[in-house]
Amino acid sequence: MDQDQADRARRARRWVTSADVARAAGVSRAAVSRAFTPGASVAPETRRRILAAAKAVGYRPNALARSLNTRRSGIVGVVITEIANPFYARLLEALGGALQARGLLPLVAVAPDPQATDDLLAHLLSYQVDGVVVASAMLSSGIAARCAAARTPVVLVDRRADAKGPQAALVGADNLGGGRLVADLLAAAGHSRPAFLAGIEATSTSDERERGFTQGLAAQGLVLAAREVGRFTYAGGLEAAQRLLARADRPDAVFCANDEMALGVIDAARTRFGLDIPRDLSVVGFDDTPSAGLAAYRLTTVAQDVAALAQAAVAALEDPAASPRRAAPQWRIPCRLVLRRSARLPEGTVPAD
């Protein structure tokens, strides 16, 4: 009696376990485990009875315990900075959806700065994550080696890895192609003095967009008239425009490495130089952020297919070839030009809105 009472008191503090269900359904604990494992060998009638008993006592398998011996946690680590940046916010949302569609869940680490990535990644790794998605942060060679040792697939989204050490799989927008699209557009609209506004130097996204742009211009017989750096921010765009538009040979078009800087350029052009967009200056951005569609801007921009990006990242995770090795696989998602009104339109084209 006393023993029973003590037992009851202890039970009350514990979770409902598979043993409770087994007792309730009159089967062994192994049968309960099998009832919750899709392909397992259980008689349909037994499974039904067990599931009913489980529902009655409010049982759900403990994912932690399950992970411990299946060696699959169902968790994917995600390292990301500046979620407040609309592009990364959309990416995270799409990534979450893509993971959930496969029964996975993202364990998110917000990196205050790129240096913090290593510690966070180590923390994520201690949860035996089934994979890691690193967005907007460098991957140090040290941590990459650890992932390789743990046989944990790593996917970099829109970033290139540290040159040294094992390479990780890479998923990203086709920045080169996007840059070329803009070059073609500006050339077709008859611009002659195109400028480029970079984000942060030595960033793969900014670099690739620039290379694609200049290559595209060259193919059309044009050269870059000016170049500035705007740190990927609105304020940076304002400042860069100040320098860019004060030049004697003012550019007649600016391609910005992201939308936020493009909005800054437009505002500076209007308020500080009294220019009309796009009559006096064409401005093109990158990302197709929500603000780009606002009536006051109607920014022509290059849209990334965020959903496809997320799908590819998850697919790369499941592909064993994604685990760090010598030859790093790459997935490149095509970009799409969104024609609005911040850039002069070539003959015969119509804006999206």
Partner DNA sequence: AGAGGCTTTGCACACGTGTGCAAAGACGCC
Partner DNA sequence: GGCGTCTTTGCACACGTGTGCAAAGCCTCT
Question: Cβ of residue 45: shortest distance to DNA, in angstroms?
Answer: 7
- Asked if residue 56 binds a copy of itself (CB under 8 A), the reply is no
- Asked if residue 242 binds a copy of itself (CB under 8 A), the reply is no
- Give me the 49-88 binding string for DNA, x by CB under 7 A, dash otherwise: ----------x-xx--xx-xxx------------------
**Cβ 87 vs Cβ 287: under 8 Å:** yes
**φ, ψ for residue 303, nearest 5 deg:** -90, 135
- Asked if residue 19 binds DNA (CB under 7 A), the reply is yes
Nearest CA-CA partner of 230 in 246, 242, 222: 242
- Give me the 121-140 binding string for a copy of itself, x by CB under 8 A, dash otherwise: -xxxxxxx------------
Tell me which residues in 268-297 interact with a copy of itself (CB under 8 A).
270-271, 290-291, 293-297
Q: How far is Cα 340 from Cα 353, in angstroms, rounded to an integer?
A: 6
Beta bridge partners of 56: none
Question: Closer to a copy of itself at the Cβ: 26 or 290?
Answer: 290
Residue of 43, 219, 223, 294 that binds DNA (CB under 7 A): 43
Interaction partner, residue 307 (DNA, a copy of itself, none; CB < 5-8 Å by kind): none
* Helix ranges restricted to H, 220-278: 234-245, 259-273
Q: How far is Cα 45 from Cα 49, in angstroms, rounded to an integer?
A: 6
Q: How far is Cα 320 from Cα 341, in angstroms, rounded to an integer?
A: 45
Rg (Cα) of the chain, in Å, rounded? 27
Residue of 11, 48, 60, 243 that binds a copy of itself (CB under 8 A): 60
- Asked if residue 41 binds DNA (CB under 7 A), the reply is yes
- Asked if residue 40 binds a copy of itself (CB under 8 A), the reply is no
62: CB partners within 8 A, 6+ apart? 15, 17
Q: How far is Cα 329 from Cα 331, in angstroms, rounded to an integer?
A: 7
Nearest CA-CA partner of 133 in 203, 181, 75: 75
Q: Which two tokens stand for residue 61?
A: 């398998």
Residue ranges that bind a copy of itself, judged by CB under 8 A:
15, 58, 60-65, 67-68, 73, 75, 82-84, 86, 89-90, 92-93, 96-97, 100, 105-110, 112, 120, 122-128, 146, 149-150, 234, 263, 267, 270-271, 290-291, 293-297
Residue ranges that bind DNA, judged by CB under 7 A:
14-15, 17-19, 27-34, 36-37, 40-44, 46, 59, 61-62, 65-66, 68-70
